[in-house]
Structure 1
Amino acid sequence: MVNTDDIARELVTLRDYWRYAISRFNAAELSYGHGTTTAVDDAAFLLLDSLDLPIDTLDPFLDARLLTPERKLLAERIEARVSTRKPTSYITGHAYIQGIRFHVDERVIVPRSHIGEILFNEYGGEMGSSFLPDPMSVESAVDICTGSGCLAILAAKFFPGAAIEAVDLSPDALEVAKINVAEHEVEHQVTLYQGDLFAPLAGKKYDLIITNPPYVDHAAMDAYPAEFRAEPAMAHDGGVDGLDLVRTILAQAADHLNPGGGMICEIGTGREILEEEFPHLEFLWLQTAEAEESVFWISAESLGVEV
């Protein structure tokens, strides 16, 4: 065990801690994938978020001399990342989607959905989306398997006139979602429900369904490194082939969609399986920065909703 007091005395600038963290992370052969992909990026995220600095702006601060409490905090958090192998977001208490910060802890999976990127890309330009509904026309939306509540909160921001509902099976996850809903001041717009998929929503219909359900297959979970094992297993477990919950959602979605609506769903790597099992459905596969076949859009009409 490294003496963090010694480190805090010897290292003075942010550059010192960044170099030190990268070396420690590489030597420990840490794993990434919770918003960062390399030791360099993970170290930068840990340092900047711990100091409440912009997480995408490292250079201006590199040679800043840190206060003694800041140095001690960084030394302790670098050591915690190495010794516990927990994702950095659990250590700092925050995760980000497109620069928007959310509270996270070990009650929820660290949010990293491709859907957030898609919402920003589709609604961030002047032309509007080619497939998602006009934001001002959406009066209701639901986030199934909401976890920390991040996608429901983003939906509230993109659809200002919509009532947003969010469901999760885990009461612990909903406690975290409640924190985020309050911090983003959308309590008037977002309502949280505890239950299994659509079960708490009997009879309710929506213009938009958003869902990022557990979709990891058992073989992949068995091979997980420590960082992924630190997250709640139920937030990953999609069954033997990863698509158990996706199948159930597809089977039930039509009962909860208004005509003209649709669903955006993240599934991981199961495109070929879904297309073979559901040849009658018109999946529109959406490209993101890191994946081309992980998220689909499907219209209410394709699911059998009559106009």
Structure 2
Amino acid sequence: MSESLDYAPAEMETLRDMVRYAASRFNEAGIYFGHGTDNAIDEAAALALFALNLPPDTPEIYWGARLTGAERQAVMDLVRRRIEQRVPLPYITNQIHFAGLPFYVDERVLVPRSPLAELIEQSLQPWVDPHSVSRILEIGTGSGCIAIACAYAFPQARVDATDTSYAALEVAAINIQRHGLGDRVRLFNSDVFADVPDESYQIIITNPPYVDQTAMDALPPEYKHEPLNALAGGDDGLDVVRRIVDGASRYLSEDGILVVEVGDSDDAVAKTFPNLPAMWVELERGGHGVFILAATELKNWHAA
């Protein structure tokens, strides 16, 4: 069955009707989920609630409420955009949560979805003493979500965040202002360590571009809306990762740690750095490919 997406059928009267109908059209179109939800029902519900200016926790009693013609059309307009343009949901709503915090996003930055959120919510324990952390550096901040989440997790720390993209830094600045963290989170236009302050950090954390060329060539259409230079990591996915591993020692304190997300490029890391004393983290909420290096072990590895 293939129906026109211009108007909702007259039989679709309630919010529940519209969510079910939108989910059916999403499944029929074969859209990709992975930028905030992982199934058609949740995607449709989030889209419909946004179109109707209702909160995500709208009580069940309202789901049976009848919609006006204008409201049904507002939902259908977004359903059509999601299907025909393959725009990820957070770019339509301009909002997403990361580490339990709300963030503004648009197509200047990646949609936040890093498993690093889980570790940040745990204040990176047991690898650091949260009360002793005073300086944090994030490489490749994008929307600023990781840097801002770190500022919440380590309330005594100053956070420096870098990106090569001025457009991304504009979005990060919006989020820093919204969270009232302008006095604790600083932004720098820097290619990895090229223009970062000459400081010593207890934590360097990064979700760099790490998608290899084979995977880039196979990306679903939704990913084409994201800044591709924030995804593409070269032939083996490690172009930027190599530079981070090579340069981090200079900026880490003696008791510092380097936290790196490499996702599906974890096998490439193991092959490229066979003797790297990295500890791969087991994540309870899903995701993989995150390793942590202690500053002393990293320096000894370089020396060897």
* TM-score by shorter chain over 0.5: yes
Which residue matches 2:291?
Answer: 296
Q: Which runs of 5+ in 1 are unaligned?
A: none
Which residue matches 2:78?
Answer: 77
CA–CA distance in structure 1, aligned partners of residues 219 and 213 of structure 2: 10
Q: Deviations over 1:201-256 (max 9, x none)?
A: 15222111110001001111111111011111101110001111111100001011
Q: Deviations over 1:148-182 (max 9, x none)?
A: 00000001101111111100011111111111111
Which residue matches 1:135?
Answer: 130
Asked if the contact 2:94–2:104 (Cα under 8 Å) also holds between the matched residues in 1, the reply is yes
Q: Which runs of 5+ in 2 are unaligned?
A: none
Asked if the contact 1:94–1:104 (Cα under 8 Å) also holds between the matched residues in 2, the reply is yes
The code of the aligned residue for 1:238 comes to G
CA–CA distance in structure 2, aligned partners of residues 145 and 86 of structure 1: 23
Which residue matches 1:225?
Answer: 220
CA–CA distance in structure 2, aligned partners of residues 224 and 95 of structure 1: 21
Is residue 2:27 matched to residue 1:32? Answer: no
Is residue 2:163 matched to residue 1:168? Answer: yes
Q: The residue matched to 1:249 in structure 2 has which SS?
A: helix
Q: The residue matched to 2:298 in structure 1 has which SS?
A: coil
Q: Structure 2 matches for 1:11-26, cutoff 5 A?
A: 11-26=12-27
Instruction: Give the alignment partner of residue 261 of structure 1, picking from 232, 256, 263.
Output: 256
CA–CA distance in structure 2, aligned partners of residues 139 and 52 of structure 1: 40
Q: Give the stretch that moved more between structures: 275-284 or 111-120.
A: 275-284
Cα distance change, pair 136–9 in 1 and its aligned pair in 2 (3 A)? farther
CA–CA distance in structure 2, aligned partners of residues 150 and 16 of structure 1: 35
Asked if the contact 1:46–1:88 (Cα under 8 Å) also holds between the matched residues in 2, the reply is yes
Is residue 2:241 matched to residue 1:237? Answer: no
Is residue 2:153 matched to residue 1:152? Answer: no
The number of equivalent residue pairs is 298
Residue 56 of structure 1: how far off its partner (Å): 6.2
The code of the aligned residue for 1:166 comes to A
Instruction: Give the alignment partner of residue 271 of structure 2, picking from 252, 273, 276.
Output: 276
Q: The residue matched to 1:62 in structure 2 has which SS?
A: helix
Q: Deviations over 1:41-91 (max 9, x none)?
A: 222222234445454667454223445554332221111101111101111
Instruction: State percent identity of aligned pairs.
Output: 42
Q: Give the stretch that moved more between structures: 97-106 or 58-67.
A: 58-67
TM-score relative to the length of structure 1:
0.89
CA–CA distance in structure 1, aligned partners of residues 293 and 54 of structure 2: 39
Q: Calculate the aligned-residue CA RMSD, in Å.
A: 2.3
